[in-house]
């Protein structure tokens, strides 16, 4: 189960409508980065047959089956830190992450 | 934890390798920075939530530099060390700067452009601009949480090579990688997505704080071509404030004001102007330092009335720009509004009436240039969606060419060529045994070097001695995507080469560019005649040279009478050649050619004989 925070949902739907196309967002992980794995956050234009599709606050969240075990239970949030703003994965599976948090380990 | 942005499918980057790119509108009055995040272009604010950064840099007596609002607030206290509008001095020599005597700075002549004397030493406009860029760069890095891949910086369409180079130098000094310099009107058009839309003519009406620019663009096959530019470098929103300010003084019958009261009143005047954009009437109530009270109401009608002449003043350059482009107002498919002052309904009305269509105003006119630059930067940094395969090109504003004999310009790259572009032409030597060639690079539309702007000079040396016309010298002009020029010359038989990056010593003012363009049109006829005259004069000189050198080598082939006739012919041609009677020169050339025909034939026979004598037939046929 993957969910969006209220703030994240507002921004995602805003970005999607500005972009003019897309069925939702795709979350995933890939192996790379300083702590083994890195998050992927993309616009989704098509759903693949094997994708898990979650509905959160009226938006579709797509996850490929390989990534799901690492992400299950994650809430996608949108926050501001100083001048910087963007999306944040609140992932209960993470054991440790690199200093910057861009890659992590489970 | 790092914050992420949504990327296009398949475009997500590895950790720490985001391609962060920004667009910067480096303005005369205000500058700002924008970027594309999660597919959406937006401006980046500072810690206080302010978007605009006043383009003001202050050098402190105790060391250190402040940029923006803080510097602006002490401008009147420390005018010599507080540099405003440095953009007006970029790539400019002292004599290029209009109204230099009204400015509070100590100008110093420097290499390439003026310097401003401050408490921290002489500063070039490039250094001042670099401070502004550095501030914006820092803001962007704080906002994006990483190092920048690069930036697109906008420049006015009329900026010449010197000014573009100066802008690029400022970016380098600020530690920014310039992905491209982009014309401001083109950036505005991109922000409105016009580049993805229908082909056609667009006008960009840019009324900033202190400057007015109008540009006519043509979009065809994804390329924006600048057809004409115009404007008034001393007209902007500030003049509207000034009109309101004068009106207040007149209505309230105020005595001469202290500097403090004047500033206060000017601020109130600006607020009233801005209030009127959304309301029918603006109250102006101020208690002055002198103890006087001002309590007035400025209505839309009064405001329209007192600023009408300013609005009309912007329309004259608009008409001129259209005329330069050879267009009627109804040929324009869309009008983009840029600059905070275009929020005034009076301006929008006047523009709508002139073009017969409503201008595009749904984007914030203060931000539209920076947003367009950000969109372009995002693409250039490689963050493009799979189905976005458009390529945006820009054009060079004035033709580039070389000086040839007689002070004529040979255009190598013509105005409005899309960039990047490279063109080469072959030239040859003019005199026998000429071993060097001076290459003089000029910019402009006129046929004569003296009417164009000199950009650079260099020499190609080491050409092997040959008869005039035998050397093959290839001169290649290359303009990169930023509109910056490099020129190389090479002699084809030996491969000797010389090249230059054009870092012009000084540039042209926008008025000069406009004047040069207009001149080019007005003098097209004159120039053609002048060119024809120059060409025969050059031809005459060439013939005199050739005959003289032949006489030096082979005078023994002539009898005294023949020799005398040729000498007379040369003298006659020498005299007529400096006149401006083209037909007489042509006649003299013909006469001398006739008189020397026999001589040339004998020389030919002689050289054939010399070549053959003393060698047997087998040597020759082999």
pLDDT at site B139: 94
What is the helix (H) or strand (E) element at residue B316, kind and residue range? helix B300-325
Q: CB–CB of B16 and A12 under 8 A?
A: no
DSSP state of B389: -
User: pTM (2 decimals)?
Assistant: 0.65
Higher pLDDT, B46 or A101: B46
**Residues facing B31 on adjacent strands:** B26, B53
| Per-residue model confidence as pLDDT tens digits over B162-218 | 888 889 889 988 889 998 889 899 999 999 988 777 788 999 999 988 889 999 998
Nearest CB to A15; choose among B1, B4, B38: B38
C-alpha distance across the termini of chain B, in Å: 84
* Contact between B429 and B445 (Cβ < 8 Å): no
Residue of A23, A37, A85 to mutate for B, most B C-beta atoms under 10 A: A85
Q: CB–CB of B4 and A82 under 8 A?
A: no
Other Cβ atoms less than 10 A from the Cβ of B592: the count is 24
Rounded CA-CA distance B77/B61 in Å is 13
Other Cβ atoms less than 10 A from the Cβ of B546: the count is 18
Q: CB–CB of B2 and A11 under 8 A?
A: no
pLDDT of B513 strictly over 60: no
Higher pLDDT, B507 or A49: A49
| Per-residue model confidence as pLDDT tens digits over B379-403 | 888 776 544 544 455 667 678 888 8
Interface list for chain A against chain B, based on CB atoms closer than 8 Å:
11-12, 14-15, 18-19, 25-26, 30, 32-34, 38-45, 79, 81-89, 97-98, 100-103
pLDDT at site A98: 62
State the smallest CA–CA distance between residue B37 and chain A in angstroms: 9
pLDDT at site A97: 65
pLDDT at site B132: 97
Closest Cα in chain B to A46? B9
Interface list for chain B against chain A, based on CB atoms closer than 8 Å:
1-12, 14-16, 37-40, 44-47, 139, 142-145
Closest Cα in chain A to B143? A84
Nearest CB to A42; choose among B8, B45, B143: B8
Burial class (CB in 10 A: 0-12, 13-18, 19+), B74: middle
Other Cβ atoms less than 10 A from the Cβ of B286: the count is 18
Choose the weakest-confidence range: A92-101, B37-46, B309-318, B341-350.
Answer: A92-101
Burial class (CB in 10 A: 0-12, 13-18, 19+), B525: exposed
- Give the residue carrying structure tokens 């275009």: B342
Nearest Cα neighbor of B593 from B521, B509, B536 is B536
* Contact between B14 and B351 (Cβ < 8 Å): no
Rounded CA-CA distance B4/B459 in Å is 54
pLDDT at site B316: 92
Going from the C-alpha of B463 to that of each of A22, B404, B489, B500, the distances in angstroms are 64, 17, 11, 17
Alpha helices (runs of H) in B474-616, residue ranges in sequence order: 510-522, 524-554, 560-577, 582-612
Residue of A102, A103, A104 to mutate for B, most B C-beta atoms under 10 A: A102
3-state secondary structure of B173: helix
Mean pLDDT over the full length of chain B: 84
Q: CB–CB of B7 and A18 under 8 A?
A: no
Rounded CA-CA distance B170/B129 in Å is 6
Give residue A102's pLDDT band: very low, low, confident or very high (50, 70, 90).
low
- State how beta strands B121-123 and A103-105 pair: unpaired
Contacts of B148 in chain A (CB under 8 A): none
pLDDT at site B436: 86
pLDDT at site B499: 77
Rounded CA-CA distance B434/B461 in Å is 10
Over residues B257-284, the mean pLDDT reads: 89
State the smallest CA–CA distance between residue A49 and chain B in angstroms: 16
pLDDT at site B389: 45
pLDDT at site A10: 93
Give residue A34's pLDDT band: very low, low, confident or very high (50, 70, 90).
low
pLDDT at site B330: 92
Angle at B572 between CA B571 and CA B575, to 5 degrees: 85
Q: CB–CB of A43 and B39 under 8 A?
A: yes
pLDDT of A32 strictly over 70: no
| Per-residue model confidence as pLDDT tens digits over B437-477 | 888 988 887 778 877 877 888 888 888 888 888 888 888 99
CA B21 to chain centroid: 24
Rounded CA-CA distance B272/B445 in Å is 45
Over residues B582-591, the mean pLDDT reads: 87
Give residue A70's pLDDT band: very low, low, confident or very high (50, 70, 90).
confident
Over residues B115-137, the mean pLDDT reads: 93
Give residue B273's pLDDT band: very low, low, confident or very high (50, 70, 90).
very high
pLDDT at site B18: 67
pLDDT at site B505: 37
Nearest Cα neighbor of B134 from B173, B76, B187 is B173
Most confident by average pLDDT, B107-121, B329-343, B510-524: B329-343
Output the six-digit token pair for A21. 């196309």
Nearest CB to B6; choose among A42, A82, A103: A42
pLDDT at site B416: 67
Higher pLDDT, B2 or A101: B2
DSSP B409-441: EEEEE-TT-EESEEEEEEE--SSTT--EEEEEE
pLDDT at site B508: 44
Over residues B131-154, the mean pLDDT reads: 91
Nearest CB to A15; choose among B3, B14, B40: B40
| Per-residue model confidence as pLDDT tens digits over A89-101 | 888 887 766 655 5
Give residue B557's pLDDT band: very low, low, confident or very high (50, 70, 90).
confident
Rounded CA-CA distance B369/B184 in Å is 6
pLDDT at site B1: 55
Chain A with chain B: Cβ pairs closer than 8 A = 94
DSSP B315-352: HHHHHHHHHHHT--GGGEEEEEEESGGGGSHHHHHHHH
CA trace torsion A27, A29, A32, A35 (10° rounding): 110
Over residues A30-37, the mean pLDDT reads: 66
Give residue B606's pLDDT band: very low, low, confident or very high (50, 70, 90).
confident
pLDDT of B407 strictly over 50: yes
Give residue B368's pLDDT band: very low, low, confident or very high (50, 70, 90).
very high
Q: Active-site positions of B?
A: 25, 87, 184, 206
Give residue B298's pLDDT band: very low, low, confident or very high (50, 70, 90).
very high
Give me the percent of chain B exceeding a pLDDT of 90: 32
Closest Cα in chain B to A18? B40
Nearest Cα neighbor of B268 from B291, B233, B244 is B244
Q: CB–CB of B15 and A12 under 8 A?
A: no
Nearest CB to A42; choose among B7, B45, B139: B7
Nearest CB to A88; choose among B3, B14, B144: B3
Other Cβ atoms less than 10 A from the Cβ of B589: the count is 21
Output the six-digit token pair for A60. 């579709």
pLDDT at site B75: 83
What is the helix (H) or strand (E) element at residue B411, kind and residue range? strand B408-413
What is the Cα gyration radius of chain B? Answer: 31
pLDDT of B485 strictly over 80: yes
pLDDT at site B283: 93
Burial class (CB in 10 A: 0-12, 13-18, 19+), B388: exposed
Going from the C-alpha of B605 to that of each of B511, B551, B554, B592, the distances in angstroms are 60, 15, 12, 20
State the smallest CA–CA distance between residue B91 and chain A in angstroms: 34
**Residues facing B25 on adjacent strands:** B32, B154
pLDDT at site B144: 87
pLDDT of A105 strictly over 60: yes
């Amino acid at each position: 189960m993957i969910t969006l925070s209220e703030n994240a949902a507002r921004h995602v739907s805003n970005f999607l409508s500005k972009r003019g196309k897309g069925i939702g967002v795709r979350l995933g992980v890939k192996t790379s980065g300083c702590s083994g794995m890195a998050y992927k956050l993309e616009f989704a234009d098509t759903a693949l047959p094997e994708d898990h599709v979650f509905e959160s606050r009226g938006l579709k969240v797509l996850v490929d089956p390989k990534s799901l075990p690492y992400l299950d239970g994650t809430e996608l949030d949108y926050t501001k830190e100083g001048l910087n703003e963007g999306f944040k994965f609140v992932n209960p599976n993470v054991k440790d992450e690199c200093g910057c948090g861009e890659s992590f380990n489970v | 934890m790092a914050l992420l942005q949504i990327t296009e499918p398949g475009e997500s980057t590895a950790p720490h390798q985001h391609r962060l790119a920004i667009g910067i509108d480096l303005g005369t009055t205000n500058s700002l920075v924008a970027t594309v995040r999660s597919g959406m272009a937006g401006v980046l604010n500072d810690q206080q939530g302010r978007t605009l950064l006043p383009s003001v840099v202050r050098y402190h007596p105790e060391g250190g530099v402040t940029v923006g609002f803080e510097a602006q607030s002490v401008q009147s206290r420390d005018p010599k060390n507080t540099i405003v509008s440095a953009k007006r001095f970029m790539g400019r020599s002292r004599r290029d700067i209009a109204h230099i005597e009204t400015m509070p700075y100590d100008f110093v002549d420097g290499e390439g452009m003026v310097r401003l004397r401050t408490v921290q030493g002489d500063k070039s406009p490039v250094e001042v601009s670099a401070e502004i860029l550095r501030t914006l760069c820092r803001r962007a890095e704080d906002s994006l949480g990483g190092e920048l891949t690069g930036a697109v910086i906008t420049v006015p369409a009329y900026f010449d090579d010197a000014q573009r180079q100066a802008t690029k130098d400022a970016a380098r000094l600020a530690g920014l990688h310039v992905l491209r310099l982009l014309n401001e009107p083109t950036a505005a058009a991109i922000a409105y997505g016009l580049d993805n839309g229908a082909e056609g003519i667009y006008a960009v009406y840019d009324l900033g704080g202190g400057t007015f620019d109008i540009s006519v663009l043509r979009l065809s096959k994804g390329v924006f071509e600048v057809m004409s530019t115009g404007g008034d470098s001393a007209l902007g929103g500030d003049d509207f404030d000034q009109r309101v300010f004068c009106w207040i003084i007149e209505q309230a019958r105020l005595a001469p004001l202290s500097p403090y009261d004047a500033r206060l009143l000017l601020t109130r005047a600006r607020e009233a102007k801005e209030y009127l954009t959304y309301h029918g009437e603006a109250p102006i109530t101020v208690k002055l330092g002198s103890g006087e009270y001002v309590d007035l109401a400025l209505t839309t009608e009064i405001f329209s009335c007192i600023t009408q002449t300013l609005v009309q003043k912007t329309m004259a350059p608009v008409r001129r720009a259209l005329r330069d482009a050879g267009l009627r107002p109804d040929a324009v498919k869309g009008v983009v509004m840029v600059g905070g002052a275009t929020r005034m309904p009076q301006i929008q009305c006047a523009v709508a009436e002139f073009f017969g269509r409503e201008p595009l105003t749904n984007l914030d006119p203060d931000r539209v240039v920076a947003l367009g630059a950000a969109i372009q930067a995002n693409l250039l940094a490689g963050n493009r969606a799979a189905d976005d395969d458009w390529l945006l090109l820009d054009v060079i504003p004035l033709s580039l060419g070389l000086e040839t004999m007689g002070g004529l310009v040979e255009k190598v790259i013509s105005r409005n060529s899309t960039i990047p572009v490279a063109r080469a032409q072959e030239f040859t030597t003019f005199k026998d045994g000429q071993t060097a060639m001076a290459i003089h690079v000029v910019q402009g539309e006129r046929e004569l070097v003296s009417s164009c702007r000199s950009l650079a000079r260099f020499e190609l040396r080491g050409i092997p001695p040959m008869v005039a016309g035998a050397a093959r010298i290839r001169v290649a002009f290359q303009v990169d995507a930023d509109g910056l020029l490099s020129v190389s010359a090479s002699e084809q038989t030996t491969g000797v080469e010389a090249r230059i990056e054009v870092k012009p010593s000084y540039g042209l003012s926008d008025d000069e560019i406009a004047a040069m363009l207009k001149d080019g049109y007005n003098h097209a006829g004159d120039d053609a005649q002048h060119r024809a005259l120059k060409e025969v004069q050059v031809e005459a000189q060439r013939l005199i040279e050739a005959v003289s050198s032949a006489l030096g080598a082979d005078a023994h082939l002539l009898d005294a009478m023949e020799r005398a006739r040729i000498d007379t012919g040369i003298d006659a041609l020498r005299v007529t050649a400096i006149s401006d009677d083209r037909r007489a020169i042509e006649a003299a050339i013909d006469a001398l050619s006739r008189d020397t025909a026999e001589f040339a034939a004998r020389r030919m026979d002689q050289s054939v004989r010399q070549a053959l004598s003393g060698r047997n037939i087998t040597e020759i046929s082999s």
